[in-house]
């Protein structure tokens, strides 16, 4: 939560904020995420406007995960930018639910950055993270890592319908 009372409700007033906050749980996708409790560096500019408070910022954090092709660990960093308008409580018409419109709201002049941070980070992550751009992955037959053994091969598979003939050939030898 970030307190915006210092700005008052004077459009044009702004403040720069830099903070390091612990990462919330489940910040990321199944194969690549920011570890829970890891520091997330935030550089924010909060600005009062007529309707509410405009938050513009940047977040940096360490990432952990695994390559979707070879399952090797991935350690990386993410740097995302975001911007969101948080409306004042009194800007919502009676009987209207801002949650239905996807509008962010201030709660007693406090704004919750977690949903904004979560959206920015998750949308910036690659859908299928790779350890290298041209990662060859694993052998589909035995699971060997193809980067470690690029000449890895197997004998051609024998169609089970012809297995009887293969047995006859072995009997002749």
pLDDT tens, residue by residue, 34-56? 999 999 999 999 888 888 888 89
**What are the beta bridge partners of residue 85?**
54
Instruction: Grade residue 102 by pLDDT with cuts at 50, 70 and 90.
Output: low
Rounded to 10 degrees, what is the CA torsion of 111, 113, 115, 118? 180
> The whole model's pTM is what?
0.70
Alpha-carbon distance 146 to 91, whole Å?
A: 59
Provide the token pair at 136.
Answer: 């060859």
Alpha-carbon distance 31 to 127, whole Å?
A: 9
Alpha-carbon distance 78 to 71, whole Å?
A: 20
């Amino acid at each position: 939560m970030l307190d915006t009372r210092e700005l008052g409700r004077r459009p044009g007033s702004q403040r720069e904020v830099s903070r390091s906050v612990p990462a919330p749980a489940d910040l990321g996708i199944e194969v690549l995420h920011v570890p829970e409790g890891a520091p997330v560096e935030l550089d924010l500019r909060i600005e009062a406007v007529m309707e509410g408070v405009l938050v513009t910022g940047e977040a940096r954090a360490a990432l952990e995960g695994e390559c979707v092709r070879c399952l090797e660990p991935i350690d990386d960093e993410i740097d995302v930018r975001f911007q969101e308008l948080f409306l004042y409580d009194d800007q919502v018409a009676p009987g209207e639910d801002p949650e239905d419109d996807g509008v962010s709201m201030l709660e007693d002049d406090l704004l919750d950055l977690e949903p904004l941070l979560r959206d920015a980070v998750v949308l910036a992550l690659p859908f299928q993270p790779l350890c290298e751009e041209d990662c060859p992955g694993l052998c589909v037959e035995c699971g060997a890592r193809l980067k470690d053994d690029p000449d890895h091969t197997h004998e051609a598979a024998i169609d089970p319908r012809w297995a009887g003939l293969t047995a006859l050939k072995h009997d002749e030898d």
